[in-house]
Structure 1
Amino acid sequence: MARQSGLGREARLHARSLHAANVGSVSLLAGLRGRYEQPGQPIVISGAIGPRGDGYKAGDMDATEAEDYHGVQIGSFAESDADMVTAFTLTNIDEAIGAGGRRQGHALRDLLHGRDRR
C-alpha cells in the first residue's frame, strides 16, 4: 500500500509540474503577444496536446480514458491565456473524441470549433 501512495504522490507532483510548465509557457507567449500584436494581425496562442503513447503506433484508449488523461492538460490551458487547444497525432478516434469532450467544458477553441478573438 505504501508503494501505491508513493506512486500517487509522484503522479501528483508530475501533474503540478506539467501544469506549471503549460501555464508558464502560455504566460511567456501572452507577454510577447502583448508587445507585438497589431490591429488586423492577431497572435493566437494554442496549447498543444499529443498522444498518450507513441504517435506512430495505434493505442488502446477509450473516450473516457482519453477525457481523463487529456483533461489535466486541457484544464491547464483553460486556466491560462491560451486561445485554443490543438491535438496532434492522436492514434485513434476514441482518443480524439475523449479529448474533444473534455475541451467542451472550457471556453477554448479546438480544431473543429472556433470563435473570433476580437
Structure 2
Amino acid sequence: MRERVTMRLPDLVQGMRLDQVLASELQLSRSLVAKLIKQCDVKVNGKIPRKSAEVFPGDQVEVLLPDASPKSLETPFELPVLFEDADIVVVNKPVGVAAHTAPGWKGPTVNGALLAAGH
C-alpha cells in the first residue's frame, strides 16, 4: 500500500529545486523523486510540478510514496553476469536498479541480486 505524505517546506529551501528538496526531506534518491514527479505522484500547492521547479518556504507538498511492502521489494530480475572469476564479477546493470543500498532506497540492488544468486 502506498503512503501519502504531506509537508510544508521550511525556510531553508528558498530557491532550491523540488527534486533536491524532496530527496533530502524524504531520504529518497533524486532519481526516484524524479520518477515520482514524472508519474504525477507529487503536487506542490495542489499543482503538478516539474522536477526542476523552484520551491519556496511554506509551499505545501504532497507526495504519494512508492509501495514499500515486502512483495514490491522482491528482486524481479536475474542479473546478467558478463564475466566472473575468483576476484571479480562483471554485470550488465539494468536501469532502475541501484548498485547498492542507500538511505531511502527501497528497490532492487546489484548487491542484493548477487547475494540472492549466491555470488
TM-score between the two structures when normalised by the length of structure 2: 0.25
The structure carrying a bigger helix percent of its residues is: 1
Which has the larger share of strand?
A: 2
